[in-house]
């Protein structure tokens, strides 16, 4: 059972997976243990109030730090548990009539007890793409980053849009070029708060790289030698996997 305090994971003596007897001293807000039987097939979670003080050996850890420390398998479990916990915290009432939502007993939905509207945990698909041109890789610096990090282009899929269309639109909007030969690479859950990253590779087609100066402040095509000396995403991310895939091919 994962224990969450807001958007952080609770750890005690380095442990993040707890049994029912390991929650002494915690002020429980809500728990998946109280849900119908079908929900018990999912990774279980407990949401607690932030303690006034942490005891020796206890700490609250952000998701990115937890990811790097615990690895992909633990992160995947925590991601599932957290997204359901956050959904129960943030969407407790029907958006149609305002009545309370109650969990289904046969699937992972929740239904309005007054008007019968049904809801499921939201997932926001996003595309992230490694674009190659003559042995170089397109990397960009996002305005939201406080450091000098560079990464591949990413963005959310819009309603009614195919993922391939999203790849082309995001790249055109952010750096002013067109791409071709778009190929699926892989995916990664991204619980910040509820995204699913869909990775692609593509080839440069036409245009001159020009950052939009809103989301992207700088961008360009970089050689493997240049990338080795750049600040790029950590090993656990799909962004880094895309970059590593490019480097491995060179």
Full domain range(s) for residue 107: 91-121
Q: Are residues 18 and 99 in the same domain?
A: no
Q: Using pLDDT thresholds of 50, 70 and 90, give the confidence band for residue 68.
A: confident
Q: Are residues 138 and 52 in the same domain?
A: no
Backbone angles phi, psi at 225, to 5 degrees: -65, -40
Q: What is the pLDDT of residue 67?
A: 86
Q: Are residues 218 and 240 in the same domain?
A: yes
Query: Token pair of 177, please?
Result: 């070029």
Q: Are residues 167 and 232 in the same domain?
A: yes
Q: Are residues 241 and 136 in the same domain?
A: yes
**Domain tally for the chain?**
3
Q: Are residues 111 and 199 in the same domain?
A: no
Q: Are residues 242 and 163 in the same domain?
A: yes
Q: Are residues 221 and 157 in the same domain?
A: yes
Q: Long-range CB contacts (< 8 A, 24+ apart) of 92-97?
A: 94/119
Q: Using pLDDT thresholds of 50, 70 and 90, give the confidence band for residue 210.
A: very high
Taking the C-alpha atoms of residue 129 and residue 155, their distance in angstroms, rounded to an integer, is: 9
Q: Are residues 42 and 109 in the same domain?
A: no
- Is the CB of residue 146 less than 8 Å from the CB of residue 160? no
Q: Are residues 20 and 104 in the same domain?
A: no
Q: Give the CATH number for residue 174.
A: 3.90.79.10
Taking the C-alpha atoms of residue 212 and residue 171, their distance in angstroms, rounded to an integer, is: 10
Q: Are residues 170 and 239 in the same domain?
A: yes
Q: Are residues 137 and 218 in the same domain?
A: yes
> pLDDT tens for residues 126-174?
999 999 999 999 999 999 998 899 999 999 999 999 999 999 999 999 9
Q: Using pLDDT thresholds of 50, 70 and 90, give the confidence band for residue 236.
A: confident
pTM of the model: 0.88
């Amino acid at each position: 059972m994962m224990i969450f305090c807001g958007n952080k994971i609770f750890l005690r003596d380095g442990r993040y997976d707890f049994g029912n007897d390991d929650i002494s001293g915690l002020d429980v807000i809500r728990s998946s243990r109280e849900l119908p039987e079908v929900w018990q097939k999912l990774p279980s979670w407990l949401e607690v109030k932030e303690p006034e003080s942490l005891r020796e050996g206890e700490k609250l850890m952000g998701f990115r730090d937890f990811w790097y420390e615990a690895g992909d398998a633990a992160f995947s479990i925590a991601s599932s548990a957290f997204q359901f916990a956050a959904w129960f915290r943030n969407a407790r009432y029907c958006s149609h009539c305002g009545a309370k939502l109650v969990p289904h007993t046969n699937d992972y939905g929740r239904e309005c007890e007054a008007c019968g509207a049904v809801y499921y945990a939201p997932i926001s698909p996003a595309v992230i793409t490694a674009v190659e041109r003559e042995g170089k890789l397109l990397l960009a610096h996002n305005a939201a980053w406080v450091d000098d990090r560079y990464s591949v282009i990413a963005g959310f899929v819009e309603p009614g849009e195919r993922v391939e269309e999203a790849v082309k639109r995001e790249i055109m909007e952010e750096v002013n070029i067109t791409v071709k030969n778009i190929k699926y690479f892989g995916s990664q859950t991204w619980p910040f708060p509820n995204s699913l990253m869909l990775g692609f590779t593509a080839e440069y087609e036409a245009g001159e790289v020009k950052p939009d100066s809103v989301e992207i402040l700088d961008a360009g095509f970089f050689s493997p030698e240049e990338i080795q000396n750049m600040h790029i995403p950590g090993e656990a991310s799909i962004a880094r996997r895309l970059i590593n895939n490019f480097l491995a091919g060179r």
